[in-house]
Amino acid sequence: MIRVPSRARPFRTAARFTLLLALTGLVSSPALAQDPSPEEIGLAIAYEAAARNDGFGNFTANLTMILRNRQGQESRRQIRFKVLEVEGDGDKSLFVFDQPRDVQGTALLTHGHLTAQDDQWLYLPALKRVKRISSSTRTGSFMGSEFSYEDMSNPEVEKYTYRFLREEPCGDLICTVNEQVPVDTKSSYSRQLVWQDKEHLRTWLVHYYDRKNSHLKTLVFAGYRQYLDRYWRAGEMTMENHLTGKSTVLNWTDLEFGTDLGDGDFSQAALRRVR
């Protein structure tokens, strides 16, 4: 779900140890019999970032989606969001559009999976119909935004291969730069570059490359806040499409953890009851 790190299932102790070596600068120490490879370090970073998000349970939020065209003209949409952590599988999430009126009641339901492609359904209230998002549709625009349906799915660790590239400054922080390649051959992306700060492993920047290895989109995160003294969430996400010149901003507010959510809130039948 838009680069919020997924849970580390199963978490690898060896990978975590490798990460600790890497982040403390010991990867080049002669005391080590063998330095970890860039692939091992990259995987360890991904697992550690996921582990720090483990156990959040569920949360709800309100979103404002701002669509900007090449000329800078804007339109806005109001969205409700909820997500449920699932033991042994990917998380379940639901986006419900409240405004404007022409999209009111439209909803996207995602059932995430650890390795298999996520299941996604779109409810169209005007047709009173639940439409399954196919593999070919996942690469298309989500409700006219610069996010695709693929971008709205759950970024489980197991769905990518990884390679650590470098460390570099990112603002006032020091970030790791990790390359991740989708395992799914039907993904619209050939690879992604991810910038995460070393201290908290928060994602600040993602570069998306298309199948021709051209830099297609850039996702920027801002306004992080910590919840429950553990979980970091960005208050703003901006996706810029370098091909179209358009961008989409997601502003997250009113995050509430530990709400009364269950599996029944994330079923296809529940889509038809959305209000």
**CATH code of residue 114:** 2.50.20.10
Give the per-residue pLDDT at 35.
82
- Please check whether residue 238 lies inside any domain of the structure: yes
Bridge partners (DSSP) of residue 181 are: 161
Tally of domains within the chain: 1
Band of residue 270 on the pLDDT scale cut at 50, 70, 90: confident
Q: Which of 19-23, 94-98, 128-132 has the highest mean pLDDT?
A: 94-98
- Please check whether residue 31 lies inside any domain of the structure: no
Residue 66 backbone zone (phi > 0: left; psi -120 to 50: alpha; other: beta): beta
Q: What is the DSSP letter of 41?
A: H
- Please check whether residue 132 lies inside any domain of the structure: yes
Q: What is the DSSP letter of 141?
A: B
- Please check whether residue 230 lies inside any domain of the structure: yes
Report pLDDT digits (tens) over 4-56. 444 544 444 455 555 555 554 534 445 444 789 999 999 999 999 999 999 99
Domain that holds residue 141: 58-272
- Please check whether residue 106 lies inside any domain of the structure: yes
Q: Is the pTM of this model over 0.85?
A: yes
- Please check whether residue 151 lies inside any domain of the structure: yes
Q: Give the separation between CA 176 and CA 43, rounded to whole angstroms.
A: 12
Give the per-residue pLDDT at 86.
93
- Please check whether residue 44 lies inside any domain of the structure: no
- Please check whether residue 29 lies inside any domain of the structure: no
